[in-house]
Amino acid sequence: MQKTVALLLSLILITTHIHSQTLRTTSKVGSTLLRGPFLQAATPNSIVIRWRTDVLSRGIVHFGKTLEKLDRNAQDTVLVTEHKIKLDNLEPNTKYFYTIGSYRDSLQGGPNNYFFTLPTPGTEALYRIAAVGDCGNNSVNQRSVRDALIKYIGDNYLNAWILLGDNAYSTGRDAEFQSNFFNVYKETLLPKYPLYPSPGNHDYYDGDSSEQKVQQTHQVAYFQNFTMPSEGEAGGVPSHNPAFYSYDLGNIHFLSLDSYGIEEERYRMYDTLGPQVQWVKKDLEAYGHKGWVIAYWHHPPYTMGSHNSDHETELIHIRENFIQILERYGVDLIICGHSHDYERSQLIKGHYGMEPTFNPSFLVNSFTGLYDGTSNSCPYLKDSTTGYTGTVYIVSGSAGQLGGKQAAFPHDALPYSDATHGGAGMLEIQGNRLDWKWVCSDGEIRDHFTLFKNVNKRHIITAKKGETITLTAPFPSDKPYQWSTKATTRSIDVKASNKVYTVKDANGCIQDSFEVKTK
């Protein structure tokens, strides 16, 4: 009997040992990367890196100025699957490489894991910003537009990309964000270009409660999946609300707004007494006319694409009650989505009625803005001495969803329109020059325009007679300049004498003069 019991105990011990060894062999060690990394709330001195893992872990980011020397780190202090790690004490306009992982494992790194911090506010340089609207439907068009953008960017850096709403179709649930947004951009845009989103109506459809309820509570995946710089850390007046916020990228001031959410259980974006409008006024008042001002949100004030701005209540109210506030503060560009096409105005001001009431009297000037040497193609011009008059309105809602137009298409205020091709916008801003290009899914640029500020000026320069002085054309150009001295460079050196020098652009649209006076 004792021998039998001993034998049974030995078998139990052996079985337990084998089972234990099997568990050690098959148990998963470490975590798996499910989402990201992606870059949020970038500022000149900080950035938030987010990612998601399948199991709880303490995340860590190793980073540094070279790939070979990641000599700094930041980390989670608790076990989480949603990792949001802020890197602080960074240098402005500086390239950093990074890896993400846990204490035991490195989940992702390498030469494509890098970012540039934002420049110091007010700094002038060449900046590139992509505008992506109504993208998240997991379609062939979405991927084609993505690929066209990547090809256009080439080896250049994209300083930021903005989302114009409806970022995950059709209900904005987390699973749709995963499949239709994060999975689509994970290897291209997300790891190295800072992202600043705005919400659309589909981002507020969660299917679990009434639409009005989630508009009020903002308890939807959109607000859980993104981190916004709503405390003024990237510039602008703090909104203390992730639904709307502002930030500075060099000499550009952006406002990301929410055209569908409800604040304080009753106010929408177009309610002039509501918190969003009151914040917009404070923010624009504080910024003044330091540089470019660009606002973006989902619902457009003008469209005859898949939506009709003369029939839909939200669009009518935005046009009648809201945009005149932005025009009054000199906002240069307004970019929206919602209609699944492309539509663009000229430089206009003061039209708040229905489409049939639009006429040429609302044009600030009659130029096309194409700036390509064709007839009447001079750029749009704005001048601080005349109140920065005029705004260009753009609908770019075909980076994923595509198609649909009204019988009245194109809208009379939006002559540059296309409901056939998918695409996304590309802003290129250098100093006082703004260029917009609509990059289509096949790589073609089917619309573009140029806008200058504060040109065609007379400049007075006083210097000692015979002193060498440098004159610089106050506008960037990618073509030779035309100086009265026959020089073609942007800057020239002259000996000071009582003389007037002029410089023109190659298309004959701009001329600045320098009156040199000797003392």
CB 370 within 8 A of CB 377: yes
Phi, psi values for residue 51, rounded to 5°: -160, 170
Q: How many CB atoms lie within 10 A of CB 24?
A: 9
Nearest to 417 by CA among 313, 339, 319, 364: 339
pTM exceeds 0.85, yes or no: yes
* 4 pLDDT more than 80: no
Rounded CA separation 482/502 (Å): 8
122-453 to CATH, choices 3.30.1330.120, 3.65.10.10, 1.10.10.10, 3.60.21.10? 3.60.21.10
Average model confidence (pLDDT) for the chain? 93
Predicted confidence at residue 384, as pLDDT, reads 78
Give the whole-number percent of the chain exceeding pLDDT 90.
88
Structure confidence by residue, pLDDT tens digits, 213-258: 889 888 899 999 999 999 999 999 999 999 999 999 999 999 999 9
Rounded CA separation 50/39 (Å): 7
Structure confidence by residue, pLDDT tens digits, 121-169: 999 999 999 999 999 999 999 999 999 999 999 999 999 999 999 999 9
Predicted confidence at residue 218, as pLDDT, reads 85
Residue 214: helix, strand or coil by DSSP?
A: helix
Structure confidence by residue, pLDDT tens digits, 407-451: 999 999 999 999 999 999 999 999 999 999 999 999 999 999 999
Predicted confidence at residue 103, as pLDDT, reads 85
DSSP states of 275-310 as a string?
A: HHHHHHHHHHHHHTTSSEEEEE-SS-SS-BSSSBTT
With 0-12 / 13-18 / 19 or more C-beta atoms within 10 angstroms meaning exposed / middle / buried, residue 519 is exposed
Predicted confidence at residue 29, as pLDDT, reads 55
CATH 3.40.50.80 fits 33-115, yes or no: no
Q: Are 122-453 and 458-518 the same fold in CATH?
A: no
DSSP states of 470-499 as a string?
A: EEE-SS--SS--EETTS--SSEEEEE--SE
CA dihedral 358, 359, 362, 365 (to 10 degrees): 140
Long-range contacts of 209-216 (CB under 8 A, 24+ apart): 212/262, 215/260, 215/261, 215/262, 216/261, 216/262, 216/265
Predicted confidence at residue 208, as pLDDT, reads 63
Rounded CA separation 191/193 (Å): 6
Structure confidence by residue, pLDDT tens digits, 64-102: 999 999 999 999 989 999 999 999 999 999 999 999 999
- Token pair for 376: 């009447």
- The domain spans of the chain are 33-115, 122-453, 458-518
Architecture (CATH level 2) of domain 458-518: Sandwich (2.60)
CB 83 within 8 A of CB 51: yes
Beta strands at 333-336 and 292-296: parallel, antiparallel or unpaired: parallel
With 0-12 / 13-18 / 19 or more C-beta atoms within 10 angstroms meaning exposed / middle / buried, residue 361 is exposed
Structure confidence by residue, pLDDT tens digits, 322-375: 999 999 999 999 999 999 999 999 999 999 999 999 999 999 988 999 999 999
DSSP states of 257-280 as a string?
A: --SS--BTTTB-TT-TTSHHHHHH
CB 163 within 8 A of CB 132: yes
Helices and strands per DSSP (H, E), number in the chain: 9, 28
